[in-house]
Structure formats: C-alpha cells, structure tokens
Amino acid sequence: MTRVTADQGISLDGFTAGPDQSHENPLGVGGEHLLDDWMFGAADDNAAEVEAILARKAFIMGRNMFGPPEGGDWDEAWHGWWGEDPPYHAPVFVLTHHERDDLPMDGGITFHFVTDGIEAALDRAREAAGDGEVGIMGGATTVRQYLAAGLIDELRLHLVPLVLGSGERLFDDLAGLNLEPVGARHTPLVTHLTYRLS
C-alpha cells in the first residue's frame, strides 16, 4: 500500500505556527523561521530533506495551508500562498468545508478541494500517487487528525532552535501516541527527526 508520511517544521516548545496567523503572517508572528531559514535560506545543508518532501507523488493539506486563513467561502482569485508555480509538482488535495472547482496551476500541479473528510482525501491521494508516497503537509490540525486516525506511517519533524511561546501546537490531544525513532540528522539551522508510527 502507498506509504503516507508527514513533514512539519516545529519549534522547541512544540509549535508549528506562531500566534496571530494572517495574510501578512501566514505562519503567525515569528513562524516564518520554522521553514524559511532552513528550507530556503540554507537549502544546500538540507537538500536531502527538501528533496524528500518534494518527491512525493501526491499531497494533502488543510484549508489554511492553502489559505487564506479567514475561512468562509472561497475567493476564487486566491491561488495559494506560492504564486503561479507552487513547489508541489503533483496533485494536492485540500481539506475544506467549502466546495471549489479544481485549480490547475503551472508545473503539473492541480489543487483538488475535498469536502468529505480526511479518509476520502487520502483515498484520492493514494490513487493519484500510485506506487509513490503521499505527503501530509499540514498545518498542525490536519497532521493531528491523520495521526489520531492512525493513517500516517512516518512523521518527519524539522526541529528549529526557536521558542515561539504560543501559536498552533502539533501534539495537543494526542496523548499515548507511539513514536519509534528511526533517524536524526543535525544541520546548523535545524535538526531533522524521523519517527515511525506503530
């Protein structure tokens, strides 16, 4: 069966986004450091991890990760945080309560908007991925739902030496989650931790 993995940038105090998420601060105040510094600013040091993230054959993300974070009906002019050529060059399934037509973009990507839950999105992503890997991309609420349902095979945390103090936590309401450490690699700006879910 298709392997399902999740990647999350995370602060030392367990947050995957800072407080006050908005158009101006999609990852909350200070949250841009969870990704920008190591994923884009020091890509050579972290090339293997970035390549593994982008090599997946299908992706799932939550509504706020596609954005904008206000909720409600879609602004049809909104094409995501990444401009016309998003980094995900594979089908992306966006979890939402609000229907929207498929959105094809440059680079071979189409955003599909799924309104019938996490399992339906995963079924569609598995079909799209074939023998490849499905990546659960976040945000924290989306990853948490898949973890709680036991639908993730491997969790990859990218631990940034940053204390946010508040924001969106990854592990709320997941007491008893069994994580088996299977890998760790340190670079100057981040420590990459890999866990198998058992």
CATH number of the domain residue 92 falls in: 3.40.430.10
Q: Which residue has the higher pLDDT, 23 or 99?
A: 99
In this prediction, residue 72 has a pLDDT band, given cuts at 50, 70 and 90, of: low
Number of domains observed in the structure of the chain: 1
Give me the count of residues in the chain.
Answer: 198
**Parallel/antiparallel/unpaired status of strands 168-169 and 103-105:** unpaired
pLDDT digits (tens, 9 = 90+) for 95-154: 998 888 999 988 778 999 999 999 999 999 999 999 999 999 988 999 999 999 999 999
Output the CA angle 21-143-107, nearest 5 degrees: 80
Q: Which domain holds residue 64?
A: 4-71+78-197
- Report the interhelical angle of 140-148 vs 118-129 (nearest 10°): 90
Query: Using CA atoms, how far apart are residues 1 and 21, in angstroms rounded to an integer?
Result: 36
